[in-house]
Amino acid sequence: MKRYSAFAIAKNAVNYHRGWERAWAKPEPKPEYDAIIIGAGGHGLATAYYLGKNYGITNVAIVEKGWLGGGNTGRNTTIIRSNYLQDPSAAIYEKARSLYETMSQDLNYNVMFSPRGVMMLAQTEHEVRGYQRTAHANALQGVETKFISPQRVKQLCPIIELSGPRFPVLGALWQPRGGTARHDAVAWGYARACSDMGMDVIQQCEVTGITQSGGQVTGIETTKGVMKTKKLGIVVAGNSGHLADMGGFRLPLESVSLQALVSEPVKPCMDVVVMANTVHGYMSQSDKGEMVIGGGTDGFNSYTQRGSFHHLEETVRALIETFPMVSRLKMLRHWGGIVDVTGDRSPIISKTPLGGCFINCGWGTGGFKAIPGSGWAMAELMSTGETQGLAAEFGLNRFQEGRFIDESVAAGVAH
């Protein structure tokens, strides 16, 4: 694979950019692999990447029913932060955040990581207490966050209205090295690196069955034929329930639609990410100038990857209280993705009742930020077969043992 660099751009410019090679290969499936990952979203691709990079396992296929990053990875609002309350969460999200810092260099692909700072507004006394508690927990965990005053909030984000009619801004939990990254680029960068290691990224290939013998996985059935393997990773977010069903087990999660929207592009007016969890809306400005706005989940389960009007109205109405300028913006487009939500709002990175079959899911509304850390942990689990390291606390057994990692209240809106 040729390296991307300023020199390569200049050299190719001379030939009107006709000399670039394909970023990743388009292979036909082989009959057998050492490991197969189902799902070419960020988490599946990162798992494959770290299987190769950290454990030297490169005879790997990543099988995707649609296109690279076409699931939630390409539909999210790209907030990256690690200011969680519980120790296992802070550990994996902070590992991920730190890997984002060097991801562009690591993958030789510009993922546009922008550590512009993330603030979670405290707009009730309860939130003030909650975020102060999180700031103390983060200090013990080695995660850099701070509870800041309303005046500092206004300094960092002048378009905020501090004395909102219902919910004045009382402060915020501020993570200066949180931020955003370009979601497609994360998927494309990993895919290119996997392809370069000799892995097969197979798109438009739906998994329709999981084969097994004597309680051990033996392979998968797909729309492009059968592939054998003794190590299978299921990393399909909102479709996890379907795949678990094919493997003969059940998962404690629900699939719901989560929505987002963007406005028309405007001049730069906001260079931080703001989450307003009480009124429930969050916003950042993209490099193109669009205001990227995130809403909530539907109140019912579904597999439809689309937005709905009542959410748009609710989200924008909520945001206008804190950002009056939003009322003057035209909204450009909106969409939905199917997120997989667990009861304790923490992910599952686990062995399954089917031998050789592992699952990574339950990232719900907030897994983009976790992609590199999750891939790192899942690769360790798949290569060693042991639940250890970053994945240790995220096993399926926690739901039987009542050992929840409760981020539902602590994380507020977990995007």
Ligand X SMILES: Cc1cc2nc3c(=O)[nH]c(=O)nc-3n(C[C@H](O)[C@H](O)[C@H](O)COP(=O)(O)OP(=O)(O)OC[C@H]3O[C@@H](n4cnc5c(N)ncnc54)[C@H](O)[C@@H]3O)c2cc1C
User: Closest approach of Cβ 222 to ligand X, in Å?
Assistant: 7
Q: What is the DSSP track for 123-182?
A: -SHHHHHHHHHHHHHHHHHT---EEE-HHHHHHH-TT--TT-SS----EEEEETT-EE--
Quote the Cα angle for 252-414-330, to 5°: 125
147 vs 363 by CB, closer to ligand X: 363
**294 interacts with ligand X by CB under 6 A:** yes
Report the residue from 29, 44, 372, 373 that binds ligand X according to the rule CB under 6 A. Answer: 44
Instruction: Decide if residue 75 touches ligand X (CB under 6 A).
Output: yes
Contact 49, 214 (CB under 8 A): no
Query: Where does this chain touch ligand X (CB under 6 A) — which range of 102-110, 129-137, 209-217, 233-241?
Result: 233-241
Which of 32, 34, 101, 206 touches ligand X by CB under 6 A? 206
Query: Taking a C-beta distance cutoff of 8 angstroms, is the pair 307, 262 a contact?
Result: no
Shortest spacing between CB 360 and ligand X, in angstroms: 7
Site string for ligand X, 314-343 (x = CB under 6 A): -----------------------x-x----
Using CA atoms, how far apart are residues 144 and 58, in angstroms rounded to an integer?
36
39 binds ligand X (CB under 6 A): yes
Contact region with ligand X (CB under 6 A), list: 53-61, 71-79, 113-121, 135-143? 71-79
Query: Minimum CB separation from ligand X for residue 36, in Å?
Result: 10
Tracing tokens 């977990």 back to the chain, one arrives at 414
Q: Could you tell me whether strands 60-63 and 200-202 are parallel, antiparallel, or unpaired per DSSP bridges?
A: parallel
Question: Residue 76: which residues within 8 A CB-CB, separation 6 or more?
Answer: 183, 260, 337, 368, 415
Identify the sign of the CA torsion 344, 345, 346, 348.
positive
Q: How far is the CB of 151 from ligand X (least distance, A)?
A: 27
The number of angstroms, rounded, from the C-alpha of 62 to the middle of its chain's C-alpha atoms is 18
Report, in Å, the least distance between residue 413 CB and ligand X: 10
Q: Which stretch binds ligand X (CB under 6 A): 125-133, 359-367, 386-394, 395-403?
A: 359-367
Q: Is 65 a binder of ligand X (CB under 6 A)?
A: yes
Between the alpha carbon of residue 42 and those of residues 193, 324, 376, 395, the distances in Å are 13, 35, 12, 20
Q: How far is the CB of 5 from ligand X (least distance, A)?
A: 28
Among 185, 237, 244, 357, binds ligand X (CB under 6 A): 237
Residues within window 247-266 making contact with ligand X, judged by CB under 6 A: 258-260
Residue ranges that bind ligand X, judged by CB under 6 A: 38-44, 63-66, 70-73, 75-79, 206-207, 235-237, 239, 258-260, 294, 337, 339, 363, 365-369, 415
